[in-house]
Amino acid sequence: MNIALWIVQGILGLGFIFSGWMKAVQYEKAKASWLWVKDVSRGFVFFIGIVELVGVLGVILPQATNISPVLTPIAATGLAAIVLLGAVFHIKRKEYKQIGVNIVFLALAVFVAVGRM
């Protein structure tokens, strides 16, 4: 089970590093790639990106270093909340094709949160 959790944590990490980096550092690329970015403030997109990047640190580092590993399921829960809110946002905008990615990452984050508790 530990190996499966590490694999899922790695997938979560890679996904949120990509997403968070685009939102926080490469705003113009994010704006060109994701239609919703044009409809919200740049500051809000930056905030989401930073929260995702911090979430990645929380999902990986505490468990890897064995320093406060209780933070790993808390960070996974936070990432699950971000993804769930993103899905609600896409539903309101009738962007149903975007929700598949949200559901996959929600399931992965919940798996880590429950598995690491």
Q: What are 14-69's pLDDT values in tens digits?
A: 999 999 999 999 989 988 888 899 899 999 999 999 999 999 999 999 999 999 99
List the structure tokens of 39.
């409809």
Work out the burial of residue 108: count CB atoms within 10 Å of its CB; fewer than 13 is exposed, 13-18 middle, 19 or more buried: buried
The answer to whether 50 touches 41, Cβ cutoff 8 Å, is: no
Prediction pTM value? 0.91
User: What does the domain layout of the chain look like in residue ranges?
Assistant: 1-116
